[in-house]
Amino acid sequence: MSKFKEKLAEKIPSYRERVTRLAKEYGDVVIDQVKMSQMYGGMRGIKCLTTDISYLDPEEGIRFRGYTIPECLAKLPKKAGAEMPYVEGHFYLLLTGDIPTESDIKDVVDDFAKRSKVPKYVFDMLRAMHKDTHPMTMFNAAVLALQKESEFVPKYNAGMSKMDYWDPFFEDSMNLLAKLPEIAAFIYRYKYKGDTAIDPDPSLDFGANFAHMMGIKSPYDEISRLYFLLHSDHESGNVSAHTTHLVASALSDPYYALSAGLDGLAGPLHGLANQEVLRWIQGVMDKMGNELPTMEDLKKFVWDTLKSGQVIPGYGHAVLRKTDPRYTAQREFALKHLPDDKIFKLVSMLYEVVPPILVEQGKAKNPWPNVDAHSGVIQWHYGVTEYDFYTVMFGVGRAIGVLSNIIWDRAVGQALERPKSLTIDMLEKIAGIK
């Protein structure tokens, strides 16, 4: 057993004990009430899920295992000379709750390297797909195709104790995560760079290897590390996390569960929003003859978008009520590395223009930018102008968080998810409508 897995195994008994105690001894304690508006409002705010991996404070933003984004960036170890922490170290933190040492990280880096070979049949399948297929469909299909590699399935079929489910879930998740950077980069080079895949370099860490296989020079390795870290987890109620958790609760293995979660990430109100932002920004630039607009022109463009019944992509959030710290982290990177980039300047102008307009319009509960308002700009700067691809990179990052969650779901014995539904007749009766 690797030191990493041993560390996880050590942590499980005390969590299990606490969960069993809460569910058995305090099973009747009421946590929340459900309102009619919430039943028809996407279940916003209902406290009915649990996770220890991350917590989203509406005012402060995400905390990973209690650490804010600036704290993670400062505390997680970095490769000598690197600006951003190892993705592997962040995964270690999410899974174990501890900030790793350099040697802990080396353990994970080496483990991923051993598991990273992508079987040929995955590439054959991707090549057989229609050239116009969205890269997200290709990515999700590749994850699903790998399902035959699941170690959970044969172990489950052979009969195993419920107490041990977490172990093959961990193995499947590690095997899957180790392959995602190559699958994603392959899709990029296959689809947009004339099928010129670049072989992985097993001596590189997760973020640097991805940058190498994309064929983009430093500091793209830094942005890859930052990007995967920032997109990893956002509590468990968002569509990709919740879907992964729900599907895994049926004891569908991590391949099925992640593929389903990624299908949710592909929606325009979720992960796909980062491609929408770039598309929308390009619309502004096209309209302005590829020049920066004036503040007045930009205000008009924002109002025109709203008046045509569309949302301003990259603004608003279901839970957050301030500027997303994931936006801020990317803005700080951009201020340092690409302060004169035209699109970055436009994004900065939008940061001034959009919030007051959304406030004036009076609909959005949060007028501030979310992570997607910035992600594409940096990618564009480093030459990744194929914005269809952005959600795939979001997916690589998101996999780190949602897979950590389902390993822990099995570790603490989370049940099959099965909420109750009611009919309109029943609700009218409850509401007292005659």
Ligand X SMILES: CC(C)(COP(=O)(O)OP(=O)(O)OC[C@H]1O[C@@H](n2cnc3c(N)ncnc32)[C@H](O)[C@@H]1OP(=O)(O)O)[C@@H](O)C(=O)NCCC(=O)NCCS
User: Which residues are tagged catalytic?
Assistant: 270, 317, 372
Q: Does 355 bind ligand X (CB under 6 A)?
A: no
CB closer to ligand X out of 259 and 366:
366
Would you state the structure tokens that stand for residue 338, as one six-digit string? Answer: 């690409």
**Residue 366 Cβ, how far from ligand X at the closest point, in Å?**
6
Q: Does 279 bind ligand X (CB under 6 A)?
A: no
Q: Which of 142, 145, 246, 364 binds ligand X (CB under 6 A)?
A: 364
Give helix 273-287 / helix 342-361 axis angle, nearest 10°: 100
Give helix 87-96 / helix 390-411 axis angle, nearest 10°: 30
Whose tokens are 């483990």? That residue is 111
Q: Which of 89, 313, 325, 397 binds ligand X (CB under 6 A)?
A: 313
Q: Does 392 bind ligand X (CB under 6 A)?
A: no
CB closer to ligand X out of 103 and 308:
308
Q: Which of 315, 327, 333, 389 binds ligand X (CB under 6 A)?
A: 315
**Phi and psi for 55 in degrees, rounded to 5?**
-135, 130
Q: What is the DSSP letter of 100?
A: P
Q: Does 217 bind ligand X (CB under 6 A)?
A: no
**Residue 427 Cβ, how far from ligand X at the closest point, in Å?**
20
* Half-sphere exposure (Cβ direction) of 415: Cα atoms closer than 13 Å: 8
Q: Does 214 bind ligand X (CB under 6 A)?
A: no
Assign 57 to helix, strand or coil.
strand
Is 321 in contact with 355 (CB distance < 8 Å)?
no
Q: Does 317 bind ligand X (CB under 6 A)?
A: yes
Q: What is the DSSP letter of 162?
A: G
Write the CA distances from 80 to 77, 84, 137, 391, integer angstroms: 9, 10, 37, 30
Q: Does 253 bind ligand X (CB under 6 A)?
A: no
Region binding ligand X by CB under 6 A among candidate stretches 156-164, 185-193, 308-316, 381-389: 308-316
Say how many C-beta atoms besides its own lie within 10 A of residue 412's C-beta: 17
Q: Does 188 bind ligand X (CB under 6 A)?
A: no
Q: Which of 21, 336, 365, 429 binds ligand X (CB under 6 A)?
A: 365
**Residue 321 Cβ, how far from ligand X at the closest point, in Å?**
9
Query: Is the peptide bond preceding residue 219 cis, with omega within 30 degrees of 0?
Result: yes
Q: Does 264 bind ligand X (CB under 6 A)?
A: no
Region binding ligand X by CB under 6 A among candidate stretches 31-39, 141-149, 304-312, 419-427: 304-312
Cα separation, 426 vs 415, whole angstroms: 27
Q: Does 231 bind ligand X (CB under 6 A)?
A: no
Would you state the structure tokens that stand for residue 47, as one six-digit string? Answer: 């406290």
What is the C-alpha radius of gyration for the chain, rounded to an integer number of angstroms? 22
Q: Which of 314, 325, 376, 395 binds ligand X (CB under 6 A)?
A: 314
Q: Does 316 bind ligand X (CB under 6 A)?
A: yes
**Residue 91 Cβ, how far from ligand X at the closest point, in Å?**
22
The amino acid sitting at 347 is: V
CB closer to ligand X out of 39 and 74:
39
> CB pairs under 8 A, 24+ apart, for 125-129?
126/186, 126/187, 126/190, 127/190, 127/195
Region binding ligand X by CB under 6 A among candidate stretches 171-179, 252-260, 332-340, 358-366: 358-366
**Residue 101 Cβ, how far from ligand X at the closest point, in Å?**
33
Greatest distance between any 2 Cα atoms in the chain: 71
CB closer to ligand X out of 101 and 310:
310
Q: Does 269 bind ligand X (CB under 6 A)?
A: yes
Strand residue runs (E) in 97-144: none
Size of the site for ligand X (CB under 6 A): 18
Cα separation, 88 vs 232, whole angstroms: 12
Considering only residues 367 to 386 of the shown chain, the ones binding ligand X according to CB under 6 A are 370-372
Region binding ligand X by CB under 6 A among candidate stretches 4-12, 167-175, 365-373, 408-416: 365-373
Q: Does 318 bind ligand X (CB under 6 A)?
A: yes
Burial per residue of 43-66, b for 16 or more beta-carbon CB atoms within 10 angstroms, e otherwise = eebbeeeebbbbbbeeeebbbbbe
Q: Does 61 bind ligand X (CB under 6 A)?
A: no
- Give me the residues that bind ligand X (CB under 6 A), please: 269, 273, 306, 311-318, 363-366, 370-372
